[in-house]
Chain A
């Protein structure tokens, strides 16, 4: 079923829960002839328009986009507008003009490598963000060390707290503890 980049884009958006609108798109009684149009699902209000610069001149696509944007404005719609462009990337002037009225995602032509990955990168911003399993609580290193000190002498275990004051403090306290163990002893050499 995926014969063109458009198909690929459509399938990705479908997958992401976007709802395809009928084309030509009708807004405020006006009709806009666009290859595809989507709106976001529950959490997104996005209106996503898809066009292919290979089939349609970029100037015309621009005019259509501007038209949609104006129509939405007239209706005080708060839907964000996004244009996904398949096919060759438009010229800079056109792209700039487009950017002024909507978010533009020029997926470009996949000349090399994984075409699907390139499109996905461009579309990513529209797609849900899948977070990996979060890595648990944010670690508190000293607490983790302190938690593993069952059976330690309290004085030694307390060095964990001393660590908050820096290396030298730990060193000094450690020396002190060692010295303390032998300090009461008579280490004179006389008999």
Chain B
């Protein structure tokens, strides 16, 4: 079915006020209206209804969406119908409010894009096309032309993909943006190094361990321990710990000590006691004993009696044992002498005391008689003479004449001496008496003190004197002691004799005892030796065997056993040491094994992650590559000779006199960034320069217009529609005529449905003529947009059908 736009209704949209219904069901629709009457509004309403967007406005006003509704209305409506473009609905109804657009567009996405890019030449697009020539350096990748081309082809997104994936080309570029990935890579290297180090260490330890195991075997054999093929450390250690040697060695050491003791003692005995010596000793002992006994019988009792009397007299004195004759005698003598001296001196001191007492009594009597004289003298003096003298001298000042101040009588009656002299004499007399009294008193007190001293001394002397009984007893004692002293002194020689005899007897007895002990020891030693033989495990001591020989045998056996045991001990120690070493190596190996396993696990994880990441990077790289390929293909496909050929053809139709034609410089390097470059070709081949330099302003406009048409025509006609908004604003008449012819060709020959808006009346008329229906099914609709006096938009449309021409017979 023909794809054709059928009609559009617009209400309160942009400059259109009220509702208008515009039929579009014709190959050519010409719209005329003064500026501001709503031509562009109508066409953008069409774009909105078809594509759901107004791409042509977006470039002009970012905020355009909020101005879509007519300023006096609250919402606008657009309804577009067409046929042959969708499988379903052929009408789209959209409601526009300041909040947005509600309703679905009419065209499917792909067609909508095509419409916006290649069907609808809005003022904005035309402006952009003209801009292409304004920039000096069109070779910049962000030049308007390049941007236009990229927008047109959707290459900006492709570039975004390619640029975005640029870092996938070399993992080193990911170092900064994706540090974790880089860390994992480095970590893998670290772990691999570590793994190598650990396994090396493990191999080394295994060799070492085997060495230790081999070294252990001979020792274990020596200990008669069966070696299990893999060493079982614990059971082996248990076996080795069972140390029987030590106690045995200790026992042997004890035995050796015993044997040594036996040997030493044996050496001290040297030999058995000869019988003759023993007999001599026995006789000597007996004789000495007899002499001692004889002495004791003769003198012993006397001596003992003397000693007992000493003890009796001096119970406090400790005497050595009476058996120690001389010493006890000397001690007793000393004690007796000391006691005798004490008694003697005591008696002498007592006698001196008695004599002294007698002389003291004499002195005391004399002192007492002097005291009594002094007492008498004192009594003669008035005791108060001193006080009276003082009182009288006080009274003397009151004596004025002969009258007594005391009694008031006239002294002259008594004496011829004046009273005053009398009193003065009396005072002098009294004063002398007082002085004597004082001296006497002093004398008396001294005498009393002397007597007291004498009495005290006498008391102490008298106290020291012995009583008569005590004196007698002391004298008796001194006499006894004297006797005893003499006895003890007399016993000196006898006691010394006795002592000598006792010594001799004791010596003889001791010698005899020693001989007897030696005899007995030899027997004991042989018994000990016999016991040793059984303990050590050698042949028993023969009756005729010398003790030394037997001891030597025992020694030899002990030494041999000790050597054997020590060897075993050494083997045990060595084994345990090696076993410990083995166990420690085994532990280290185990730890190492765990560490290696952990390393390998982590390495595997990290490698997995790294592989996944790298796979993604590779795919991303591949993706970028494909995007580049696609870009290359598209650039090749679009900017091909056919586009240039169409452009050239169209341009020449509009500007037949122009010697240069514009063209796209075909991309030389399709892999590089897209750089759309315009150039001109001289018509008769050969390159010209930059279009800006080569073409007039009018022809630049023509170039822009024809570029759009070329882009529309160079692809399969998805939508055979061309909607052009006031395209001829700066064209001269010649160009307009040519352009009209071109439009007619596109309409009549290539079946494009056209909607063209113009604001110039003559041009509108001219185009209406040029685009008149050419055959039976051809049709033209002309539309005039205007405003009613009330401001509502009004539409005058006139469909024109084909009428056979009568002017020239066909």
Cβ-defined contact, B616 with A178, below 8 A: yes
Q: In the assembled complex, which residues on chain A have CB atoms less than 8 Å from the CB atom of B158?
A: 141-142, 145, 163
Question: CA of A125 to CA of B620 in the docked complex: distance in angstroms?
Answer: 51
Q: Is B734 an interface residue (CB 8 A)?
A: yes
- B42 CB to closest chain A CB (Å) equals 25
Q: Is B714 an interface residue (CB 8 A)?
A: yes
Q: Is A54 an interface residue (CB 8 A)?
A: no
Cβ-defined contact, A103 with B741, below 8 A: yes
Cβ-defined contact, A72 with B177, below 8 A: no
* Nearest CB in chain B to that of A77: its residue: B807
Cβ-defined contact, A78 with B769, below 8 A: yes
- B617 CB to closest chain A CB (Å) equals 6
Cβ-defined contact, A45 with B772, below 8 A: yes
Q: Is B770 an interface residue (CB 8 A)?
A: yes
- A107 CB to closest chain B CB (Å) equals 8
Q: Is A65 an interface residue (CB 8 A)?
A: no
Q: Is B475 an interface residue (CB 8 A)?
A: no
- A66 CB to closest chain B CB (Å) equals 15
- B718 CB to closest chain A CB (Å) equals 7
Instruction: State which of B164, B626, B772 has its C-beta within 8 Å of the C-beta of A78.
Output: B772
Q: In the assembled complex, which residues on chain B have CB atoms less than 8 Å from the CB atom of A93?
A: none
Cβ-defined contact, A128 with B807, below 8 A: no
* Nearest CB in chain A to that of B613: its residue: A181
Question: CA of A121 to CA of B176 in the docked complex: distance in angstroms?
Answer: 61
Question: CA of A189 to CA of B187 in the docked complex: distance in angstroms?
Answer: 7
Question: CA of A107 to CA of B409 in the docked complex: distance in angstroms?
Answer: 211
Cβ-defined contact, A179 with B745, below 8 A: no
Interface of A is mostly: mixed
- B51 CB to closest chain A CB (Å) equals 14
Cβ-defined contact, A113 with B684, below 8 A: yes
Q: Is A156 an interface residue (CB 8 A)?
A: yes
Q: Is B738 an interface residue (CB 8 A)?
A: yes
Interface residues of B in 663-707 (CB under 8 A from A): 683-684
Q: In the assembled complex, which residues on chain A have CB atoms less than 8 Å from the CB atom of B180?
A: 179, 182-183, 187
Interface residues of A in 116-171 (CB under 8 A from B): 117, 121-122, 124-126, 128-142, 144-145, 148-149, 152-153, 155-157, 159-160, 162-171
Q: Is A79 an interface residue (CB 8 A)?
A: yes
Q: Is A191 an interface residue (CB 8 A)?
A: yes
Cβ-defined contact, A170 with B810, below 8 A: no
Instruction: Check A122/B656 contact, CB under 8 A, given A175-B178, A178-B616, A182-B181.
Output: yes
Instruction: Check A132/B775 contact, CB under 8 A, given A125-B742, A167-B160, A171-B167.
Output: no
Interface residues of B in 148-187 (CB under 8 A from A): 153-155, 157-161, 163-165, 167-168, 174, 177-178, 180-181, 183-184, 187
Instruction: Check A179/B738 contact, CB under 8 A, given A171-B167, A174-B168, A184-B609.
Output: no
Question: CA of A156 to CA of B627 in the docked complex: distance in angstroms?
Answer: 13
Cβ-defined contact, B634 with A159, below 8 A: no
Question: CA of A163 to CA of B162 in the docked complex: distance in angstroms?
Answer: 9
Cβ-defined contact, B807 with A191, below 8 A: no
* Nearest CB in chain B to that of A173: its residue: B164
Instruction: Check A71/B805 contact, CB under 8 A, given A138-B114, A181-B613.
Output: no
Which of B161, B174, B653 has the most chain A CB atoms inside 10 A of its CB?
B161
Instruction: Check A171/B744 contact, CB under 8 A, given A144-B630, A159-B161.
Output: no
Instruction: Check A141/B634 contact, CB under 8 A, given A152-B623, A178-B613, A179-B178.
Output: yes
* Nearest CB in chain A to that of B618: its residue: A156
Instruction: Check A182/B164 contact, CB under 8 A, given A131-B713, A145-B627.
Output: no
Instruction: Check A117/B683 contact, CB under 8 A, given A141-B154, A142-B154.
Output: yes
Which of B630, B745, B770, B808 has the most chain A CB atoms inside 10 A of its CB?
B808
Instruction: Check A136/B715 contact, CB under 8 A, given A45-B772, A45-B774.
Output: yes
Cβ-defined contact, A75 with B749, below 8 A: no
Question: CA of A155 to CA of B158 in the docked complex: distance in angstroms?
Answer: 17
Q: Is B806 an interface residue (CB 8 A)?
A: yes
- A17 CB to closest chain B CB (Å) equals 10
Q: In the assembled complex, which residues on chain A have CB atoms less than 8 Å from the CB atom of B741?
A: 80, 82, 103, 125-126
Instruction: State which of A78, A175, A187 has its C-beta within 8 Å of the C-beta of B177.
Output: A175
- B513 CB to closest chain A CB (Å) equals 87
Question: CA of A173 to CA of B683 in the docked complex: distance in angstroms?
Answer: 50
Cβ-defined contact, A163 with B160, below 8 A: yes
Question: CA of A39 to CA of B158 in the docked complex: distance in angstroms?
Answer: 51
Instruction: Check A170/B769 contact, CB under 8 A, given A139-B634, A156-B620, A182-B609.
Output: no
- Binary contact track B330-342/A, C-beta < 8 Å → 1, others 0: 0000000000000
Interface residues of B in 578-613 (CB under 8 A from A): 595, 598-599, 602, 605-606, 609-610, 612-613
Cβ-defined contact, B630 with A141, below 8 A: yes
Q: In the assembled complex, which residues on chain B have CB atoms less than 8 Å from the CB atom of A179?
A: 178, 180-181
Q: In the assembled complex, which residues on chain A have CB atoms less than 8 Å from the CB atom of B749?
A: 43, 128-129
Q: Is B524 an interface residue (CB 8 A)?
A: no
Interface residues of B in 189-246 (CB under 8 A from A): 190, 194
Q: Is B750 an interface residue (CB 8 A)?
A: yes
Cβ-defined contact, A39 with B159, below 8 A: no
Q: Is B746 an interface residue (CB 8 A)?
A: yes
- B256 CB to closest chain A CB (Å) equals 59
Instruction: Check A132/B645 contact, CB under 8 A, given A71-B807, A163-B164, A191-B194.
Output: yes
Q: In the assembled complex, which residues on chain B have CB atoms less than 8 Å from the CB atom of A79?
A: 805, 807-808
Cβ-defined contact, B748 with A175, below 8 A: no
Q: Is A10 an interface residue (CB 8 A)?
A: no
Question: CA of A117 to CA of B685 in the docked complex: distance in angstroms?
Answer: 12
Segment of B52-60, B465-473, B635-643 engaged in the interface with chain A:
B635-643
Cβ-defined contact, B160 with A170, below 8 A: yes
- Binary contact track B738-758/A, C-beta < 8 Å → 1, others 0: 101110111011100000000
Cβ-defined contact, A170 with B161, below 8 A: yes
Q: Is A34 an interface residue (CB 8 A)?
A: no
Cβ-defined contact, A121 with B160, below 8 A: no
Instruction: Check A77/B806 contact, CB under 8 A, given A135-B640, A139-B154, A170-B163.
Output: yes
Q: Is B118 an interface residue (CB 8 A)?
A: yes
Q: In the assembled complex, which residues on chain B have CB atoms less than 8 Å from the CB atom of A167?
A: 159-160, 163-164
Question: CA of A177 to CA of B178 in the docked complex: distance in angstroms?
Answer: 10
* Nearest CB in chain B to that of A172: its residue: B164
20 new A-B contacts at CB < 8 Å, known A121-B656, A126-B741, A182-B612: A79-B807, A103-B740, A103-B741, A113-B684, A128-B749, A129-B649, A129-B745, A130-B649, A131-B646, A133-B642, A136-B716, A138-B718, A139-B153, A142-B154, A144-B630, A153-B616, A156-B616, A171-B164, A178-B617, A191-B194
Q: Which 3 A-B pairs have the closest CB atoms?
A: A170-B164, A77-B807, A43-B748
A-B contact pairs, 19 of them (CB 8 A): A75-B807, A78-B769, A103-B737, A125-B653, A129-B749, A131-B714, A139-B634, A140-B110, A140-B113, A152-B622, A156-B620, A160-B161, A170-B161, A175-B177, A178-B178, A181-B613, A182-B180, A185-B605, A187-B606
Which residues of B come within 8 Å of A, CB atoms? 110, 113-114, 117-118, 153-155, 157-161, 163-165, 167-168, 174, 177-178, 180-181, 183-184, 187, 190, 194, 595, 598-599, 602, 605-606, 609-610, 612-613, 615-617, 619-620, 622-623, 626-627, 630-631, 633-634, 637-638, 640, 642-643, 645-646, 649-650, 652-654, 656, 683-684, 713-718, 733-734, 737-738, 740-742, 744-746, 748-750, 769-770, 772, 774-775, 803, 805-808, 810
Which residues of A come within 8 Å of B, CB atoms? 21, 25, 27-28, 39-40, 42-45, 47, 71-72, 75, 77-80, 82, 99, 103-105, 113-114, 117, 121-122, 124-126, 128-142, 144-145, 148-149, 152-153, 155-157, 159-160, 162-171, 173-175, 177-179, 181-187, 189, 191
